[in-house]
């Protein structure tokens, strides 16, 4: 189910803002640019006009160079006719041009001084002749080099905001005889700027209104198309979120939104393929879990058979140990008899009949011992056959473990592919990513269990090989024992044949008795070796039994893992069944 979402700003309103805000910002920028351009143009116009006025006035004053030179002498004063004539001309220029101030000044050894102020005669705040004048050092350098200097609007603490033009006054010879300054009030600049700005507004505002209306009309058409495509995309995504993968998004606009609509269709197709793959994979996984369970049951049965065979080996080893003890006892009895034969060699003639009886008894016992030794040899051969069968079954279990390992690798590959496809699916594939991660972890756990089973089987095969080598050694010892017992029977037969020749062979019998002592010692040594081999066989049987129990536990664990795989496959199928998928004929 879809989660309830918080109320957000409508996309239509956002699009209107995206278009209107830049338009309004552009309009504001145009207005600011128009104002700034108008002010700069007015300023440049006034600067040019003021500078031209200063140049023309200086050129006219240059024709009266004698008056200016006379006024520059040390005897000049405001009462002189030269001063009055020049001041009248400056007043005339000021009135005709509308300038704020028109004045003449000069450079003396004491600095810059006013020579003629073009203020009205009744103006009490005019600058008297010889009043000190201060200049910007840069303006001074340019004036002294003969340039015409026009400043921008400056804020003078005494005269307020004004614009000034300074130019040298030259005579007909080109010699500088003085300097002229004309100041214009900033209000004149502002008036010109206001007039220019009003003219610009009459042109720009109608154009901007027409552009704004056309932009709004185009915006309505564009936004309508965008919103239609967005509504279709939203509807398609909502149906996909509800689990309906049969939806088809319409391509309505030839832009990125149209590409998104196509991508939604591609995404739905890929999700459909992924879900179909997951369903097929879940079926395969269920079948694999069944095969694993069957393999585990087979291993369990083989383990039980192995346990029974090991128990039989242990019982045979116990019987062999008992028979070996009996053989040792018989060997000790034989030794006593032989000792008696050696000690009573002088009386052997009188006891020949007793010796014959004893020989018959010993012969019978050795025949019994020979028969038991042959039975032990058969048991050892049977144990070798069981060991070979165990080795074959262990190798079969190892091959089955390899098959299971291949299945786990395929499961890991399937989990990795599912994780990749879930990551491509984005938010809609987050659930599949979790399931794929659990599949990968379960496959890793199963792989570790199979590795442990392989290690146990490998150890089991090694122990069986070791047991087979011990069985071979026991077989050799049993055959040697059989041969020695046969030798003893042959010796006793010789003793029976020589019983009638006791007197003649007494000395030979003493020597033979010594030989029999040595043979008895060898028999005892062989019997001790057989006893130790029997103990080792019993210990190995216990180890093999422990390995069989461990294998049985591993088989049980493998069975549990197969159950978990089956449960996981069921969960995957239930997740994929939540989506409505359109099946093609080839898929069905």
State the pTM of this model: 0.37
pLDDT digits (tens, 9 = 90+) for 4-35: 445 555 777 777 777 778 878 887 888 788 77
pLDDT digits (tens, 9 = 90+) for 459-507: 877 777 887 787 777 778 777 877 877 777 777 677 667 666 656 666 6
- Report the DSSP beta bridge partners of residue 176: 170
Dihedral class, residue 21 (left if φ above 0, else alpha if ψ from -120 to 50, else beta): alpha
pLDDT value at residue 72: 73
pLDDT for residue 168 is more than 90: yes
> How confident is the model over 65-72, as a mean pLDDT?
80
Compute the mean pLDDT over every residue in the chain, rounded to the nearest whole number.
78
Among residues 142, 143, 127, 132, which one has the least CA distance to residue 110? 132
Tell me the C-alpha distance between 16 and 547, whole Å: 79
Residue pair 513/342 in contact by the 8 Å Cβ criterion: yes
Tokens linked to 497:
């044949």
pLDDT for residue 312 is more than 60: yes
Residue pair 308/389 in contact by the 8 Å Cβ criterion: no
pLDDT digits (tens, 9 = 90+) for 521-575: 777 777 677 767 777 777 776 776 777 677 778 777 777 777 777 787 777 777 7
- For residue 575, the number of C-alpha atoms closer than 13 Å in the C-beta half-sphere is 24
Output 342 or 138, whichever has higher pLDDT.
138
Tokens linked to 196:
């220019």
pLDDT digits (tens, 9 = 90+) for 120-160: 888 888 888 888 888 788 888 888 888 999 988 887 777 77
Tokens linked to 267:
């995404």
Which secondary-structure segment (H or E) carries 416? Answer: helix 352-425
Among residues 443, 400, 429, 405, which one has the least CA distance to residue 568? 443
DSSP per residue over 73-122, as a string?
Answer: STT--TTSHHHHHHHHHHHHHHHHHT-SEEEEEEEETTEEEEEEE-S-TT
> How confident is the model over 33-44, as a mean pLDDT?
78
CA dihedral of residues 450, 451, 456, 462 (deg, nearest 10): 130
- For residue 241, the number of C-alpha atoms closer than 13 Å in the C-beta half-sphere is 11
Show contacts of 552-556: CB within 8 Å, 24+ apart: 552/300, 552/303, 552/304, 552/307, 554/299, 554/449, 554/452, 554/453, 554/456, 555/296, 555/297, 555/299, 555/300, 555/303, 556/296, 556/300
Distances in whole angstroms, Cα of residue 561 to Cα of each of 291, 410, 446, 454, 567: 12, 16, 7, 16, 10
pLDDT for residue 110 is more than 60: yes
> How confident is the model over 427-451, as a mean pLDDT?
78
Cα R_g (the chain), whole angstroms: 63
Residue pair 299/551 in contact by the 8 Å Cβ criterion: yes
């Amino acid at each position: 189910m879809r989660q309830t979402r918080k109320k957000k700003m409508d996309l239509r309103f956002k699009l209107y803002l995206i278009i209107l805000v830049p338009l309004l910002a552009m309009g504001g920028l145009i207005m600011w640019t128009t104002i700034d351009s108008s002010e700069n143009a007015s300023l440049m116009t006034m600067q040019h006009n003021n500078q031209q006025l200063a140049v023309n006035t200086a050129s006219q004053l240059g024709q009266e160079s004698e008056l200016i030179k006379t006024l520059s002498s040390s005897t000049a004063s405001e009462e002189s006719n030269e001063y009055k004539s020049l001041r009248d001309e400056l007043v005339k220029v000021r009135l005709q041009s509308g300038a704020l101030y028109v004045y003449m000044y000069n450079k003396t050894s004491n600095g810059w001084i006013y020579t003629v102020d073009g203020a009205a005669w009744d103006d009490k705040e005019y600058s008297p002749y010889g009043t000190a004048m201060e200049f910007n050092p840069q303006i001074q350098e340019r004036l002294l080099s003969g340039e015409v200097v026009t400043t921008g609007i400056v804020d003078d603490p005494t005269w307020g905001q004004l614009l000034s033009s300074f130019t040298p006054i030259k005579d007909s010879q080109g010699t500088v005889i003085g300097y002229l300054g004309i100041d214009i009030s900033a209000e004149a600049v502002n008036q010109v700027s206001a007039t220019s700005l009003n003219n610009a507004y009459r042109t720009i505002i109608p154009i901007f209104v027409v552009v704004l209306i056309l932009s709004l009309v185009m915006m309505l058409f564009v936004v309508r198309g965008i919103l239609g495509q967005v509504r279709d995309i939203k509807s398609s995504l909502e149906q996909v979120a509800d689990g309906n993968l049969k939806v088809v998004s319409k391509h309505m606009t030839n832009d990125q939104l149209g590409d998104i609509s196509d991508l939604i269709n591609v995404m739905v197709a890929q999700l459909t393929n992924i879900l179909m793959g997951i369903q097929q994979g879940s079926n395969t996984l269920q079948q694999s879990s069944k095969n694993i369970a069957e393999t585990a049951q087979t291993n369990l049965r083989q383990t039980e058979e192995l346990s029974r065979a090991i128990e039989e080996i242990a019982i045979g080893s116990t019987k062999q140990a008992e028979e070996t003890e009996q053989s040792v006892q018989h060997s000790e009895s034989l030794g006593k008899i032989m000792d008696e034969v050696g000690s009573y060699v002088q009386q052997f003639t009188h006891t020949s009949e007793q010796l014959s009886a004893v020989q018959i008894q010993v012969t019978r016992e050795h025949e019994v011992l020979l028969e038991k030794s042959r039975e032990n040899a058969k048991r050892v051969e049977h144990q070798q056959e069981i060991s070979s069968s165990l080795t074959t079954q262990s190798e079969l279990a190892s091959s089955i473990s390899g098959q299971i390992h291949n299945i786990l690798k395929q499961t890991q590959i399937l989990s990795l592919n599912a994780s990749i496809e879930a990551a491509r699916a984005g938010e809609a594939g987050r659930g599949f990513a979790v399931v794929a991660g659990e599949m990968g972890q379960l496959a890793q756990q199963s792989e570790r269990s199979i590795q442990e089973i392989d290690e146990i089987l490998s150890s089991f095969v090694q122990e069986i090989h070791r047991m087979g080598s011990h069985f071979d050694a026991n077989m050799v010892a049993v055959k040697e024992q059989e041969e020695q017992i046969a030798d003893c029977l042959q010796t006793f037969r010789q003793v029976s044949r020589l019983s009638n020749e006791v007197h003649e062979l007494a000395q030979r019998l003493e020597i033979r008795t010594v030989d029999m002592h040595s043979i008895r010692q060898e028999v005892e040594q062989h019997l001790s070796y057989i006893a130790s081999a029997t103990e080792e066989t019993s210990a190995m049987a216990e180890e093999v039994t422990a390995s069989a129990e461990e294998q049985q536990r591993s088989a049980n664990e493998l069975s549990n893992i197969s159950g978990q795989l089956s449960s996981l496959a069921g969960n995957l199928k239930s997740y994929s069944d939540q989506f409505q998928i359109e099946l093609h004929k080839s898929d069905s």
